[in-house]
């Protein structure tokens, strides 16, 4: 059995910060949409301080924000910028990024306030407007614009930063229309789409849109295409739940290696992604000390 999500969430108030940060990575890096997480993050910060609560705040943009948490962040930003806090630059940047990337409905409700918020910086306000505009487009327009980028740049070139930002907004808009995109994404993953579609983009779309029907295709790519291992693992982590996917666990987790070798591979930046694949596919538990224990 998987550890219930309520038990995992409780780790955010664990006295050991390393355990807490393992748990926050589990939620943030895999975009697990849990409204209770941010309230516990706020509680941890209010109970101590910004410096002691977490060693880094890069996770903030990956958390689901509510009206209350967004108000809390907006209210904290101006005073933080004028503080002598050693991490103020890092924390302020994380808060700005979180506000800019919050749900567009929440942003629309506060647009007048946000457009006059000097603390968001010069780039923050145009980014919010661009996200709200993209969110208003129908699925055909969103997918068509994404396809135009792929046609122009192709699968092998390095995309310019402005096109990456635009594609991110388009993909975000498509999250609301998974059924409208299922057939096209399946074709990309099956490598039956036009050759200008990057395969890794198809993997990302499958994860972002949480297309459960693509799981067998993602598993095959994960096993057969070494260079796509982390992309597929992250997509599977986003799609995954405890109902029916754990049958693939051993095949993914070990990939012909011993358990020790497999866990060694899960270090570094890919650790949180692999940790989620463990939780989703191997049916183990998160121990109280923050370590993952396979079933």
> pLDDT tens per residue, the chain (295 residues)?
345 677 778 889 888 888 888 888 878 876 677 889 999 999 999 999 898 999 999 999 989 999 999 999 998 888 887 777 778 889 999 999 999 999 999 999 989 888 888 788 878 888 899 899 988 999 999 999 999 999 999 888 899 988 998 999 999 999 999 999 999 999 999 999 999 999 999 999 999 998 988 888 887 887 788 888 888 877 877 776 433 333 333 333 333 333 444 444 433 333 333 444 443 444 444 343 434 444 4
Report helix angle 178-189 to 139-153, nearest 10.
30
Q: What does the chain come to in residues?
A: 295
For 131, the 3-state DSSP assignment is: helix
Q: Which residues, at least 6 apart from 281, have a Cβ–Cβ distance to it below 8 Å?
A: 236, 240, 245, 246, 248, 249, 252, 253
Q: Is the distance from CB of 163 to CB of 194 less than 8 angstroms? A: no
- Output the furthest CA–CA distance in the chain (Å, rounded): 57
What's the rounded Cα separation, in Å, for the pair 60 and 92?
A: 11
C-beta of residue 12 within 8 angstroms of C-beta of residue 20: yes
Q: Where are the domains of the chain?
A: 1-136
């Amino acid at each position: 059995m998987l550890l219930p999500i309520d038990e995992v969430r409780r780790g955010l108030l664990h006295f050991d910060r390393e355990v807490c940060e393992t748990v926050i990575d589990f939620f943030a890096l895999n975009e697990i949409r849990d409204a209770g997480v941010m309230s516990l993050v706020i509680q941890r910060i209010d109970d101590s301080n910004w410096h002691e609560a977490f060693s880094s705040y890069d996770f903030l943009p990956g958390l689901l924000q509510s009206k209350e948490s967004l108000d809390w962040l907006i209210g904290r930003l101006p005073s933080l910028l004028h503080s002598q806090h050693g991490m103020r630059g890092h924390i302020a940047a994380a808060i700005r990024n979180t506000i800019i990337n919050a749900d567009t409905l929440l942003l629309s409700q506060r647009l007048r306030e946000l457009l006059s918020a000097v603390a968001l910086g010069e780039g923050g306000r145009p980014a919010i407007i661009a996200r709200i505009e993209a969110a208003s487009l129908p699925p055909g327009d969103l997918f068509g614009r994404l396809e135009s980028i792929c046609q122009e740049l192709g699968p092998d070139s390095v995309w310019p930063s402005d096109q990456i930002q635009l594609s991110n907004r388009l993909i975000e808009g498509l999250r609301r229309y998974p059924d409208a995109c299922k057939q096209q994404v399946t074709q990309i993953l099956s490598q039956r789409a036009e050759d200008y579609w990057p395969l890794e983009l198809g993997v990302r779309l499958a994860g972002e849109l949480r297309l459960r029907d693509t799981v067998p295709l993602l598993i095959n790519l994960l096993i057969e295409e070494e260079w796509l291992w982390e992309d597929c693992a992250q997509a599977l982590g986003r799609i995954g739940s405890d109902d029916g996917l754990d049958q693939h666990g051993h095949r993914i987790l070990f990939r012909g290696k011993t358990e020790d070798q497999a866990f060694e591979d899960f270090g570094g930046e890919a650790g949180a992604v692999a940790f989620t694949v463990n939780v989703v596919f191997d049916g183990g538990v998160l121990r109280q000390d923050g370590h993952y224990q396979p079933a």
